[in-house]
Amino acid sequence: MKLSDLCRVKSGFQGRSSEGKTYKQIKLKDVTKEGIILFDQLTEFESQNVNERFFLKKNDIIFKAKCAENSAALIEEDLADTVATSHFLVLTVNNVNQVDPAYLAMYLNSDFAQSYFKINAQGVTVPMIRLSTLEELDVKLPTIEKQREVAKAYQLLKDERAVMEQLIQNREKQFKAYLQNLLG
């Protein structure tokens, strides 16, 4: 089934900073290749008026469209006054009883979709996936129960990866302290 049959796709926020209310923005660097949003790194900007359609809502999926690493991340809760920059495409599932948003985010990060993106990327210096190219992606949809099961397994994998990375960082700190104590 084509992605365009499953969800609406729109561009991220393209506004400029100006004096006014403070908003948060998600930039390319704030999303890992595994689809983890680094919320503690989000930057703020001021603007007089940001159209409400750009605010990220629960179950939206942000897709890194204008970079060498096309990955997707699920917005797991409503984010007050937060937008994704224009380097992203934002997907909103039409019917969450037919398509699990977490499954769709996982699918966009899977080898199946990544192969499609590599073949269909445009641009020489900065590869880019056009909105129309994303909409043409063929998505394999098992039952909603299977989608939820796969999405849960993918979340566990991401959680485990985060724990392992933290463990490695802790071990590096321990070794540096040991070396400092021994040689310093």
Residue 12 burial by Cβ neighbours in a 10 Å radius (0-12, 13-18, 19+): buried
What is the reported pLDDT for 162?
86
Number of domains in the chain: 1
User: Would you state the structure tokens that stand for residue 91, as one six-digit string?
Assistant: 């997907």
The CATH number of the domain where 80 resides is what?
3.90.220.20
What is the reported pLDDT for 108?
97
Whether 180 is in a domain gets the answer no
Whether 57 is in a domain gets the answer yes
Has residue 14 got a pLDDT over 90?
no
pLDDT in tens, 131-155: 999 999 999 999 999 999 999 999 9
Whether 123 is in a domain gets the answer yes
Whether 95 is in a domain gets the answer yes
Whether 165 is in a domain gets the answer no
What is the reported pLDDT for 164?
93
Whether 149 is in a domain gets the answer no
Cα separation of 179 and 177, whole Å? 5
pTM of the full predicted structure? Answer: 0.88
Whether 43 is in a domain gets the answer yes
Beta bridge partners of 138: 2
- Residue 86 lies in domain: 3-141
Residue among 74, 136, 83 at smallest CA distance from 105? 74
Residue among 20, 24, 29 at smallest CA distance from 49? 20
